Amino acid sequence: MATTTAVQPAVVRSPTQTGDVIARLVTLMFAGLVLLLAGLIVLELWRGSAPARMHLGWKFLFGSDWNPVTDEFGAAPFVYGTLVTSAVALLISVPLGLGAAIFLSELAPAGLSSGLTFLVELLAAVPSVIYGLLALFTVVPLTRLYVGPFLNKTLGFIPLFQGRSYGVGYLPAALVLAIMTFPFIISVSRESLLAVPREQREASLALGATKWETTWKVVVPYAKLGILGSIFLGLARALGETMAVTMVIGNAASIHASLLAPGATIAAVIANEFTEASGKIYSAALVELGLVLFGLTIIINGFARLMIIATTRKGSKRS
Amino acid sequence: MNARLMWRKAVNAVMLSLTGVCTVLTVSTLFIILGYLLYNGGKSLDWNFFTKLPGAPGELGGGMANAIVGSMQIVALAALIGLPAGFLAGVYLSEFEDKTFASVVRYVADLLNGVPSIVVGIVAWALVVVPMKGFTALAGAIALAVMLIPIVTRQTEQFLREVPNSLREGALALGASKWRMIATVVVPAGSKGILTGMILGVARIAGESAPLLFTALGNQFWGGLTEPTASLPVMIYLRATSPYDDWHRQAWAAGLVLIALVLVANIAARLVLARGISVPRA
C-alpha cells in the first residue's frame, strides 16, 4: 500500500503547503462525489417510486397482473423472468467458464494463456446492443426452427420444454446472457486459480494424484471463494443486462413454465415501457422495478466483491 | 497397471480435454461474432451511411450521419465530465489516503460499477430530463458520465498505487511539496496506465444504449446539446427491432461501425499503450 504518511516533509511550514491543502480538498471533493452519486441513485429511486409504493404496497412484489390501464401493477412476471433467464444462463456459463479458466491457468503455457484471456476479455467489451443484434437474427430464428422443435420432441415430457416455440423467449435470452457472463467468470476465476501457491499442486502431485485430481480436489477448492465471487459478478451482470435481453425475450408480461415461451425481465420492461409510461403510478411502478433491480444487484455485487477480496488476501498471505 | 489406475488416468485425460473444449468454445464465440458482423455489416455499409440522414420508415436508402455525430457529442461530453472527476477521486484514494473513508469510497465505487445501466438511466431521467422538461443530449452525457466516474476512479487509483514509493520519497527529499510531487512525479509515472484505463472506460460507455433510451432518446434529424439526439447504439436497437429489411441492413452497418470503434480502442489501449502493464478489468 502506497501510504506516504511516513514521509511527511519538513517541519517548517512553507507557503507551498497551502497548495497541499487545496489539492487535498479538491481531490477529496471528487472522492465525495462518488459517495454522493451512490446516495443520489438510492434517493431518486426511493422518491420516484413513492406513489407506487403507497398505492400498491407489498402487493407490487407478488402480484402477477401488469395492467397499466387499470393501474394494476404486479412485478412477479418480471422478477420471475429475470431469475429464470439468469439461472439458466449461469447453468450454461459456469461449467464452460470454469472449464476454460482451468485450462488457461493449469494447462496452457503462459503466453497462450494470456493471449486467449485477452481475446476473452475483448468479448466483455462488446456492447450489449451488438449481442442483441446478433441474437435477434441468429439465435432467435435458430430457436424457432430447430432448437425449439428438437427440445419439444426429445425433452417435451418436462414442462420446461413444452409448448410452441416462438423463437423469442426465455431460452434465447438465457443463451445470450450465458455468452455475456462467461468472460467475467473466466478472467476472475483464472486469476484466483493462478493465485493458488505452487506448493499445493506439487504436494498433491507428489502424493500420486493425477493432474485432474490435483486440479479438482486441491487447486479449485483452494480458489473456491474467488471462483464463487466471479460467478456472483456474472450473475449481477446477467440480472441487470438490458438491451440484449429486451431484443430477444419477447416482452410478454406473463409467467410461463416453458423456456420456449416469451417473457420479460425487470430491465427489459423498464427499457420498453418507460418512455411511454403515462400516469403517475405507471411510471412510479417502473421506477420501483428499478429499485428492486438495484437492490438485487447491489446485494449480489457486494457479496462478490467481499469474496474476491477475501481470496486475494488469503493468497497473498500464504504464498 | 490395475483397473483403478487406468480408470483414474482415463478420467484425467477426458476431463483435461474437456477443459480444452470449453476454451475453444468460449474463445471461438468472439470470432463467430466478429465474422458474422463483418459479413452482414460489410454487405450493408456504404458511403450514404456516413453522410445521409435516416429515411422515413420503409423508405430505401438513407444513413446514420446524425447518430454518428450524436454519439460523438454525447460521449465527448460524458468524457469531459467523467474523466477529470474520476481521475481526481482516484488521486485522492491513492495519495491522500484516509483509511476508513477511502475504503468506503473504494467499495462504493465498485458497487456503482455494478449498478445496471438502465437504473442509471432512470436516475438521470429523474434528475435531468424532468427538471429540463425534455430529452436532451446533455442528460444522456450525464448518465454516461455517472457510469464513467467509478471506472476511472478505480483505474487511476490502481495505477498510481503501482508507482514505487521511492519516487515519492525522492521528490519530497528534493523539497517538493506534496501536490508538486503528485503533479510532476507520481501522475506522470502512472500516466500510461491511467490513459489506458480512461480509453477503456470511454470505449465502454460509448457502446451503452440502455442509459440513453430515456435521456437522449433519439432523433430523425440532427440533435443538439439541449435537444433529443440520436446515438449509434440506440439507433441499432431501434433499427434491428423494426419490421423493415432495409432498416435491418442499416442496423448491421451501424453494428459493424460501433464494434470496430470499440475494439480498435480496446486493442490499441491494451496492446500498444499498455504493453507490459497489467490492466485491471473495468
CATH of the domain at A193: 1.10.3720.10
List, in sequence order, every residue forming a beta bridge with A263; answer none if it has no partner: A250
Let me know if residue B5 belongs to a domain: yes
The secondary structure of residue B211, as a DSSP letter, is: G
Are B89 and B120 in a shared domain?
A: yes
- Whether the per-residue pLDDT at A151 is higher than 70: the answer is yes
pLDDT band for A61, please (50, 70, 90 cuts). confident
Residues B267, B264: Cα–Cα separation, whole Å? 5
Domain residues for A186? 74-318
Phi/psi for B62 (5° steps) reads: 90, 165
Let me know if residue B152 belongs to a domain: yes
Let me know if residue B278 belongs to a domain: no
Let me know if residue B281 belongs to a domain: no
- Whether the per-residue pLDDT at A9 is higher than 90: the answer is no
- Which residues of B fall within a CB distance of 8 Å from A4? 95, 165, 168, 172, 178
Quote the number of domains for chain B: 2
Residues A55, A207: Cα–Cα separation, whole Å? 66
- Which residues of B fall within a CB distance of 8 Å from A183? 26
* Mean pLDDT, each 10-residue run in order, chain B (282 residues): 87 94 94 94 88 80 88 96 96 86 90 92 93 92 96 92 91 90 92 90 93 88 87 93 88 94 90 60 44
Helix (H) or strand (E) holding A67, with range, is: strand A66-67
Are B32 and B71 in a shared domain?
A: no
Mean pLDDT on A180-191: 92
> Cβ separation of B263 and A23 shorter than 8 Å?
no
Let me know if residue A51 belongs to a domain: no
Contacts of B244 (CB under 8 A, 6+ apart): B57, B58
Phi/psi for A72 (5° steps) reads: -105, 120
In this complex, the residue of B22, B27, B119 whose CB is nearest that of residue A41 is B119
> Cβ separation of A14 and B233 shorter than 8 Å?
no
A104-138 pLDDT, tens digit per residue, is 999 999 889 989 999 998 998 999 999 999 999 99
Let me know if residue A16 belongs to a domain: no
The secondary structure of residue B162, as a DSSP letter, is: T
Are B36 and B163 in a shared domain?
A: no
Let me know if residue A113 belongs to a domain: yes
Are B174 and B244 in a shared domain?
A: yes
Residues B155, A79: Cα–Cα separation, whole Å? 33
- Which residues of A fall within a CB distance of 8 Å from B92? 24, 27-28, 30-31
Let me know if residue B139 belongs to a domain: yes
Q: What's at A37, amino acid-wise?
A: L
Are B24 and B55 in a shared domain?
A: no
Q: What is the dihedral of CA A157, A159, A165, A169, to 10 degrees?
A: -150
Are B25 and B129 in a shared domain?
A: no
Residues A157, B200: Cα–Cα separation, whole Å? 48
Best mutation target among A242, A272, A293 (most B Cβ atoms within 10 Å) is A242
DSSP string, A169-211: SHHHHHHHHHHHHHHHHHHHHHHHHHTS-HHHHHHHHHTT--H
Q: Give me the numbers of helices (H) and strands (E) for chain B, helices first please.
A: 12, 0
Smallest CA–CA separation between B142 and chain A, in Å?
11
Quote the number of domains for chain A: 1
Mean pLDDT on A158-167: 81
Helix (H) or strand (E) holding B79, with range, is: helix B65-95
The pLDDT value given to residue A3 = 47
Are B165 and B198 in a shared domain?
A: yes
CB contact at 8 A, A179 and A131: yes
Q: What's at B220, amino acid-wise?
A: Q
Let me know if residue A60 belongs to a domain: no
Dihedral sign for Cα A196, A119, A134, B55, please: positive
Smallest CA–CA separation between A52 and chain B, in Å?
15
Q: Which three cell numbers stand for residue B185?
A: 512525479
Helix (H) or strand (E) holding A218, with range, is: none
Gyration radius of chain A's alpha carbons: 24
Phi/psi for A279 (5° steps) reads: 95, 135
Residues A193, A189: Cα–Cα separation, whole Å? 6
- Whether the per-residue pLDDT at A6 is higher than 70: the answer is no
The pLDDT value given to residue A314 = 57
Are B24 and B156 in a shared domain?
A: no
Let me know if residue A23 belongs to a domain: no
Q: What is the pTM of this model?
A: 0.90
Domain residues for B57? 49-273
Let me know if residue B22 belongs to a domain: yes
A254 SS3 class: coil
Q: What's at A239, amino acid-wise?
A: L
Are B161 and B93 in a shared domain?
A: yes
Q: What is the dihedral of CA B237, B239, B244, B248, to 10 degrees?
A: -90
Gyration radius of chain B's alpha carbons: 24
A104 touches chain B (CB under 8 A): yes
In this complex, the residue of A2, A22, A103 whose CB is nearest that of residue B165 is A2
Let me know if residue A138 belongs to a domain: yes
Let me know if residue A33 belongs to a domain: no
- Which residues of B fall within a CB distance of 8 Å from A22? 179
Best mutation target among A243, A273, A280 (most B Cβ atoms within 10 Å) is A243
CATH of the domain at B199: 1.10.3720.10
Helix (H) or strand (E) holding A66, with range, is: strand A66-67
Residues B194, B191: Cα–Cα separation, whole Å? 5
Let me know if residue B103 belongs to a domain: yes
Residues B111, B220: Cα–Cα separation, whole Å? 36
Are B20 and B144 in a shared domain?
A: no
In this complex, the residue of A118, A126, A184 whose CB is nearest that of residue B33 is A126
Are B23 and B128 in a shared domain?
A: no
In this complex, the residue of B118, B165, B177 whose CB is nearest that of residue A20 is B177
Are B14 and B58 in a shared domain?
A: no
A278 touches chain B (CB under 8 A): no
The pLDDT value given to residue A317 = 42
Residues B11, A211: Cα–Cα separation, whole Å? 10
Residues A227, A95: Cα–Cα separation, whole Å? 11
